Structures are given as structure tokens and as C-alpha cells.
Amino acid sequence: MKKNSLLLNWVLVSLAAVATLLNEYEILLLPGPVLLGLRWAALAGLLAYAIIRKNLTTSILVAMLVGTEIGYDFPEFAQNLRFLRQIFLKMIKTIIAPLLFATLVAGIAGHSDLKQVGRMGWKSLLYFEVVTTVALFIGLFFANWFKPGEGILAPANFSGELPPVEQQGWQDIILHTFPENIAKSIYHGDVLQVVVFSIIFGVALAMLPTVKKEKFVGGVELLAEVMFKFTKIIMLFAPIGVGAAIAETVGHMGIDVLRNLAMLLVTLYCALLAFLLFVLVPVALFARIPLLKFAKTIAEPVSIAFATTSSESALPKAMEKMEKFGVPRQIVSFVMPTGYSFNLDGSTLYLSLATIFVAQAAGVDFPIGQQIAMVFLLMLTSKGVAGIPRATLVILLGAVANFGLPEWPVLLIMGIDELMDMARTSVNVIGNCLATAVVGRWEGELDDAKMHASDQVAV
């Protein structure tokens, strides 16, 4: 039945796509209601297939298509669906702090060897800094090769609202890492501060006598299990939240938004693709990680990140999936949350590319020496922006101000920032999932049998 419904869906989708293209290029003009009916018939078939399949990844992908169609056909209605996206993101954010606290504390305090925790720390940070630095230089290379900002003229009377920017020195960045009030850190969604608190708490707990320690460790392990079940419940709403996010984007910006600033968009997507192919794929092969099984494992969290443009929304599902992939919980619970502050591959690549775009658009000569200095600045300032959609705009404005560049090109970027954010956030999640597997292999604790059987595990 599944095969027959899938075949029927392909026929309906192909028919709707061909009819829409022929109508778009005026080769075969069809009445609007006929085209609308064809597209929705195809989507109805896909919805039926997703219900039969009962797979979260399939449901999310179908929801993205349905959301796109709603945004295209009913833009005003689509923009009113924002509350569904906000419900999903709010519920996800309730999971983050207790899940991080429980998994980190249980992983550290329940570990017999505290030296391994320190070893995982320096290995993770070393890996993060090497990979994100390479990402920054790839962004520079593509910006100088494609030159997306050349030839742009400043629009007359161009105005818009930019995010507020506070100038921060390196001391401020380091200071912001440490929490002054854990409740305040949870409220503001400062993931890195929650991580630091949880690590210190876990180390302190590990130093207690075994009898006292085991009681608390058992409690936080139970809390972790409850939060993973909580995540599964929230994920039942994921297709609705994701579909609403896509519908709102298309309804607000229009399907033709892909034509705006197309060169910058193409440059970013090409640079991110090059980063995946020439950096992350070789790293995975070197760590003996099967690419197809890894891709299947992370499909759900990546699709959530792509649609919601928030790495944080994918964190609980990504942690759960990587544990099923064969990475021990203590490694997943330590490496992935830390990576959300130090391993933003897609965001760091985007920042270097966007800064060069601003310089090119403004006609400012930006020599290689200054570009390299910018890379080192972005290495510091890009930390800790995961979980906040389009927070990279704030970092970009800080870099622009630091080098005396004008702000009006940033207003242009804002027009398509959501489309770019989808791609860079997805790469952030892919990079962090891979980092947990790499550190697991480095520590000699990656379960190969579990990893190779990962695609047989029921969702």
C-alpha cells in the first residue's frame, strides 16, 4: 500500500510541477483554479502518505511543502500562523535547560574518571576552533571569488530598523560565559552559561562520597529520561510548527524573494556546500563514520533547524539521535551543548562572507591583511549566538562598526537573511552532530555496532 501511494504521489506531484512550470513560462496556460486544484491534490496525496508512513522526518518534509503552498496561495492567512511557530519554539526552549543540566551532571558525576571530562573538553575545543577557522576562510574565499557585493548602488532614502549593538571587548565575551544567576541564564536562554554551571555542579557532585553521590546521580538520570520523553511529546507538534514557519516566511516575503540579492544567496549556498564536501565529509571519513547512516540519523534535527532557523529548536532531537547513533550519553551531553557556542560552522562562514559583501557594496578597499584581522575578530565574537534566530545580524553589525564600514548594506542583507539563516543553521546542526561522533571516536568510545545498525532503529 505504501509503494502504491508513493507512486501515485509522484505522479500527482510531477503533474502539478509540470503544469505550474508550463503556465509560468506561458507555454500552456491553464485556469488558476485548475492549477490550484492540481497542487493541492498532490499535497493531499503527500499528507496521506505521511500519515501512513508515521515517520517524523517524512511528516516534517511534507509539512514544509504544505506550508510553502499555503504561503504562496494565501499570504495574509499564512502570516497569521506565526503563533504556531512561536508555540513550537517556546515549548522547545522549556526543554533546553533541564535537559542540559540533567545530561551534563549525570555524565560528569556518574563518570568514574574526571580526567576524561577534562580530556573531552580540550579535544572538543581544539576541534571546534580548527573547523570554525576553516569555515571563516572558506567564507572569505567565496566572497572574494564571487564578489556578490560589487556593483550595488546605495538605494535613495533607504531605511530600516537594525538590531541594537553593544560594543564588546574580548574581556566582556569571556565574562559573559560565566553565570551570575542560573535562573537568569535559563530565562535569557544563555546556553553557554547553563553549560558552565552544569559542568561545575557535576564536578562538585563527583567529589562527594560515593553513597551520597549515587542518590543525586540517580535523580538527575531520571530527570534526563523524563526530558527525552518530554521531547518526544513536543516533537508530535513539530510538523505543524515547521509548516507554519515556512508558510509565514513565504507569505511575508513572497516566492519570488529568491530573485532578490540572488548572487549573495548563491554565494552562501555554494560556500556552505563546499564546506560540507571538502571539510565535514573528509572529517567523517577520517573518523570512520558511515556517511549515509549519519545523514539518515540527523535528517530530523536538520530539517527542524532549516525550517525554524534556530539551532536550539533542533538540540533535544539531535542529542537523542546521536545517542542512538552510538555516541555515549556523557560525550553527547558535553560536546553538543558546548558546540552550540563554539562550533557554529555555518554562522561563522556566513559572517566572514557577509562582512566582505558589505565592504564590496560600499566600494571600500578591504585588503587581505584586514580580512585576516577580521577573521580573528569573528573567531571571538561569533561564539554563543546559537538558538537565537538571526542573532548573527548583531554580530555582523559589530564587525561592520569595528572596521568603519557603512550599515546600509546590512539592511539589504536583512531582506533575504531568513533564507540564508535556513542554510547556515542547518550546517550548524550538522557540524555539531558530527563533532560528537568525532570526539566519541577520538575517545575510543564510539559504538560501531550501534552506529551501523542506527538506520534500523525505530523512530
Q: What is the pLDDT of residue 387?
A: 45
Angle (deg, nearest 10), helices 114-146 and 417-442: 140
- Identify which of 356, 424, 411 has the alpha carbon closest to the alpha carbon of residue 385: 424
φ, ψ at 69 (rounded to 5°): -65, -40
Residues in the chain: 459
Q: For the purposes of burial, counting CB atoms within 10 Å of the CB of 10, is it exposed (0-12), middle (13-18) or buried (19 or more)?
A: middle
- State the Cα–Cα distance between residues 208 and 226, nearest whole angstrom: 25
Task: Report pLDDT for 257.
Answer: 43
CA distance 348 to 377: 11
Compute and round to an integer the Cα radius of gyration of the chain: 23
The residues of the chain scoring below 50 in pLDDT are: 158, 257-260, 384, 386-389, 457-459
Q: pTM of the full predicted structure?
A: 0.72
Contacts of 376 (CB under 8 A, 6+ apart): none
Q: What is the pLDDT of residue 459?
A: 42
State the number of CA atoms in the 13 A half-sphere of 119 facing the CB.
Answer: 12
Residue 309 burial (CB < 10 Å; 0-12/13-18/19+)?
A: buried
Q: What pLDDT score was predicted for residue 411?
A: 67
Burial of 207 (0-12, 13-18, 19+ CB in 10 A): exposed
pLDDT of residue 457: 47
256-277 burial: b if 16+ Cβ within 10 Å, else e? ebeeebeebbebbbebbeebbe
Res 385: pLDDT: 52
Q: Given this model, what pLDDT does residue 318 score? A: 93
pLDDT of residue 291: 93
93 close to 188: Cβ distance less than 8 angstroms: no
Cβ atoms of residues 309 and 390 within 8 Å: yes
What pLDDT does residue 458 have?
A: 47
Residue 71 C-alpha cell reads as 504561503
DSSP 237-280: THHHHHHHHHHHHHHHH-GGGGGTTHHHHHHHHHHHHHHIIIII
In this predicted structure, what is the pLDDT of residue 111? 62
Fold of 82-456: Proton glutamate symport protein (1.10.3860)
